[in-house]
Amino acid sequence: MFDQRQEKRQHPRYSFKESASLAPFSTVLYSNTRERSVHAQLQDLSQGGFCLRADRGIKRDQVVRCELSLPGIPVPIPTLMRVRWSLKIRQGYLIGMQFVI
């Protein structure tokens, strides 16, 4: 029988939830008809992608430019990401991002 709670992740995650108050904000740049930006905090990171907590969602499958800010690293890391999912939560959105390689 298929267990719907089965872990779908291919890579282990490194969580930033405990240090959320210390984690810097990352920036996601995307375009619908004009360029927009979302400021979000990193929730977890893996070899395949990361999860962000943001004040608004981004459309699934959209390719976006990110400036990923990590604790202890003085400059943001530019990355190209695909939005895998966006989930509305009580205080904003969780957004799953996959590295585009």
Q: What is the pTM of this model?
A: 0.74
- pLDDT in the model for residue 86: 94
Residue 50 and residue 12 in contact, taking contact as beta carbons nearer than 8 Å: no
Q: What's the start-to-end Cα distance of the chain, in Å?
A: 34
Here the tokens at position 59 are: 């459309």
Q: How far is CA 15 from its chain centroid?
A: 12
DSSP 4: T
Domain boundaries, the chain: 23-99
Residue numbers of the chain with a pLDDT score lower than 70: 1-14, 16-25, 30-35
- pLDDT in the model for residue 100: 94
CA distances (Å), 42 to each of 7, 45, 64, 101, in order? 20, 8, 16, 20
23-99 maps to CATH 3.30.420.40 = no
- pLDDT in the model for residue 4: 46
